[in-house]
Amino acid sequence: MDLRITCIPGDGIGPEIVAEAKKVLDKVAEKYGHQMKYTDILMGGASIDAYGVPLTDEAIATAKAADAVLMGSIGGNTTTSPWYKLPPNLRPEAGLLKIRKALNLFANLRPAYLYEELAGACPLKEEISSQGFDMLIMRELTGGLYFGERKTIEENGVKKAIDTLTYDENEIRRIAIKGFDVAMKRRKKVTSVDKANVLDSSRLWRKVVEEVAKDYPEVTLEHMLVDNCAMQLVKDPAQFDVILTENMFGDILSDEASMVTGSIGMLSSASLNDTKFGLYEPSHGSAPDIAGLDVANPIATILSASMMLRYSFDLDKEADAIDAAVKKVLQDGFRTGDIMSEGCTKVGCKKMGDLIAERII
């Protein structure tokens, strides 16, 4: 199988971690008889330096011509970098918003998995963390409060800010279908999170999700109010499989879930459109202070590559091979500095990539 992948190395540690993900993908291709075809484009600060804008139309066209996009990280030090003296629409992060819009990436998937070997980093009580957890938050990414009409006005001498939360049934239906499709690849349970006791948008959300659920009789659906979900994430995270929710709730809950794992350097993510196309990236930032030092943790990017194989190419066996290789490396006691613990062997970014590639079987 030919896999056409556009790579965005980005800024900071981005080029280093993308290189290690490509190393692992190449090993998968060798073992399973695939052909990886990479094309690099610039985005973020690297694109600003080269072209004066965070993302060019030519780069977008290249991304659209691929089957999937694998990204490192973008941005720099917001206080010292000249990129952040530019107008907001010309700063590095504007490139990410632009590519999401151009590629219609409406579904954000962020797994939160507690590796047994890293349980000590989990901030929860041992009686909770010992149960382990493996969840995926499916967040609607292009609608809701963040994209609604907003304005600040003055009434009777008093300033008033107005933000509008809007969803239509088609926006809800397409993210719900993605959520149930992903649940079919996992443990077949969806927890739909809303605020239906207060919000009209949530009542419509719940109605449409229930309609979609009828097409997935194998999947168990439950509804949960967002405030209860926030509590349950720290009380009993093992109960969750796929959490399906709207934009703002997903933004908050996914950050909470990432902290429960204890290590953001291990967290992958994906943003999908209504085809198999997706953009895959680590959840962490560009860490410019350690760029070029060969100390970055590439595992989140490698796991993002695994998600790419699973969701854009339906190569579940190959994705499982990457996931198993990461777990084996941790079982064998190898750690980058951010996840280092007593009794383990500290390695750099390149060595971690080598070790994972070696364990692809």
Q: Which residues are catalytic?
A: 146, 195, 227, 251, 255
Strands 68-73 and 2-10: parallel
Distance, CA of 8 to chain centre: 15
Length of the chain: 361
Sign of the four-CA dihedral 221, 305, 334, 290: negative
What is the SS3 assignment for the chain?
Answer: CEEEEEEEEECCCHHHHHHHHHHHHHHHHHHHCCEEEEEECCCCHHHHHHHCCCCCHHHHHHHHCCCEEEEEECCCCCCCCHHHHCCHHHCHHHHHHHHHHHCCCCEEEEEEECCHHHHHHCCCCHHHHCCCCEEEEEEECCCHHHHCCEEEEEECCEEEEEECCCCCHHHHHHHHHHHHHHHHCCCCEEEEEECCCCCHHHHHHHHHHHHHHCCCCCCEEEEEEHHHHHHHHHHCHHHCCEEEECHHHHHHHHHHHHHHHCCHHHCEEEEECCCCCEEEEECCCCCHHHCCCCCCCCHHHHHHHHHHHHHCCCCHHHHHHHHHHHHHHHHCCEECHHHCCCCCEECCHHHHHHHHHHCCC
Helix axes 14-32, 349-358, angle to 10 degrees: 10
